[in-house]
Amino acid sequence: MPENRLHVHSLRPLANADQLMELLDPRIALTEGDEVSVPPRATQVLVGGRPSHGDLEACSELRMLVVPYAGIPEATRELMLQFPRIAVHNLHHNASAAAELALALFLAAAKRVIPADRGLRSGDWSIRYADGGDLQLEGKTVLILGLGAVGSQIGRVCEALGLRVIGVKRHPEFPPPATESFEVHGPEDLQEILPKADALIVSLPLTPSTRGLLDEEALRRLPRHAVLVNVARGPIIEEKALFDALSTGQIAAAGLDVWYQYPRAEEEKTETYPSSFPFQELDNVVLSPHRGGAFNRPDLERLRIEHLAELLNAAARGAQVPNRVDVEAGY
């Protein structure tokens, strides 16, 4: 076995392991486990979103954890803080899918597509003759919280639709490529910017500093005609504050793909409401069951494998490995 062999172990069996092997550098030795197996001690790269303390302790040669999706779970972040010698990386293969869904929710909410469809199915044309209601997008301002892979793509499409784009990111001095025309601010400017937003799209990771970032006071600062879209994580917006803002007309509409309650077992998949508040009763909300990641689409799973192979090959070749996570910050 060559001395420079890179030992990679996946905590769970990979659905497309054969496809991955075709793309991997021959110097990479890949093994797979399951939820109860212990990784081989020679493992240098561990692939999985929720390793245990025992997994990390078992791998004396471990130098990298690859979380095979965007973001890292809070429990994993807290665990990795105990192992600063281990670099953490993740994948952004589904950025386009998440951005596309954000835009679909934005347009559907802004143009009241769901209530119009529901009414016409019963022969009711009333919404066509109602006063106002739709948000005319051209010339308006969209505020995007989080200018990572998803937020940057959302912004570029919004700009093509004629919207002015304001972005908020942790390091505004380093704007992403192809966003030079955006007005970019740091988090400290958020409260000042909110009243300028005709639309607010959330694409931030969930971290201790972003949990509850949009509370009652923040939502009150939005214009009453504002449309809100969340394709990040539910708890970034306070649950009760969001329901109250939508049910009272404090904000006009929302498109939501991420939530506060999820099915915990197979039998709950057809009988779980997404919140303890009845968002499903509100006509001004477009509900989506967390499909931005689209983890059952074959084309996206192929992209996941390609991005994972690219990352692992870079590690095997001693090149710069993409998507390093700042564990302290959480992304």
DSSP one-letter code for 135: P
Active site residue 233: yes
From the list 57, 78, 268, 328, the catalytic residue is 268
From the list 89, 233, 304, 307, the catalytic residue is 233
From the list 290, 291, 297, 317, the catalytic residue is 290
Active site residue 41: no
Distance of CA 34 to the CA centre of its chain: 26
DSSP one-letter code for 236: G
Tokens of 231: 């394709």
DSSP assignment string, 69-104: SSS--HHHHHHHTT-TTSEEEE--TTHHHHHHHHHH
Tokens of 73: 């779970």
- How many Å apart are CA 295 and CA 245, to the nearest integer? 31
Active site residue 290: yes
**Strands 164-168 and 183-185, how do they pair?**
parallel
**R_g of the chain, CA atoms, integer Å:** 22
- How many Å apart are CA 127 and CA 136, to the nearest integer? 16
Write out the catalytic residue numbers.
233, 268, 290
